[in-house]
Structure 1
């Protein structure tokens, strides 16, 4: 079901450190002009019920968390949770969320990881695509009770990147593998847990075995994963079709 709180769904505008691909404007409700992104929530989101997010200062994450190692007494998840409890706070400024997310994913999808991905076809340009899509995904949201309150087109990662970047299914699937790769690479998983503290939670993958368009979201620690799974199953198929409907048949025309 599409739910948009139009009473408070004002335009979101942000200027990021690097320009985004202007083909993001193919999707409804988003306009990209270099580093400036404008989002009309009423057109962009499938569901937009919540207008607050939990964030922490990225510079603080870098200086006080990224280089801290877990111990036999304190797992990395506990380190991240303790940091969030002390340093994260709510914001209704979506631009702040996007700016923070850009820093998080510029760190997680940096070029030095290319050699260790096990996917020689993936290059720096693909990492840029991941950075852009993941930044926009930060506006998605799940509540503590597991209810998914915000859903934008980037939730369906392969569909959105296919439309925006003219990717074939194979390349889109490989990008999804890199996005989900923190599952399988322990070093990247630990990096991800620490970095996502800046976005107030941990990255939870909707896909449960292979990439299947279920995407992911930064969920708060303690969120009900059973309810999250059930809610995701209700809306996924219909909204994926709506994203693919914006595919450009001849990008060169």
Structure 2
């Protein structure tokens, strides 16, 4: 049970959180009891308990939006919103460091540390868990994530399209307690890349890198499935969770990826 360790790492940050909203997605184990015991110790924890509908990774964005809606309707004003997970343990100075980066660069919309993989912050997107979002930017896009495949990188590309910047800090590491990919098995990645309009050569390069290196934590079999799901979109056509994003954003993403591929080629 990692959620207690995860929440305590948030509550013990050098910058004390004003509000911590926890969404209990209908857990049938001892999670609920543990959460309410924590609430007795930390009064700024708010718990939202949902009906148990079995495990479905697509409910993650639903839970995120429920928490964001509560924060928005709380009547309080916040400068930043931290997205985390029940298996992420943050070092004490984590949020303070991210806020420092935000303070230095007012155009920085989303920033995160990393889960310890050997990836450069210049070529990789901020992590899903452990990301800090600037609320003034978040409010411009509706204070919500889209409930479709690709919701996690969507906000990052949207920020870039709007003229903001994003960043992942290579030297700021947090602990990911469960093996990356357990549960969702990366099944969303292929259709998400299709919905977002990823360039085919970029997708192929990403899959090859996953197979040849250990930089991403994505297995060879999962990488091949990502490519298959990206290529054969017809298998998702009846899934309401599969929806193309607007053409302007898709074109923006493709151009961005073409530029990145060109830079890589010119460095060879």
Larger Rg: 2
RCO higher in 1 or 2 (8 Å CA, sep ≥ 6)? 1
> TM-score by structure 1 length?
0.30
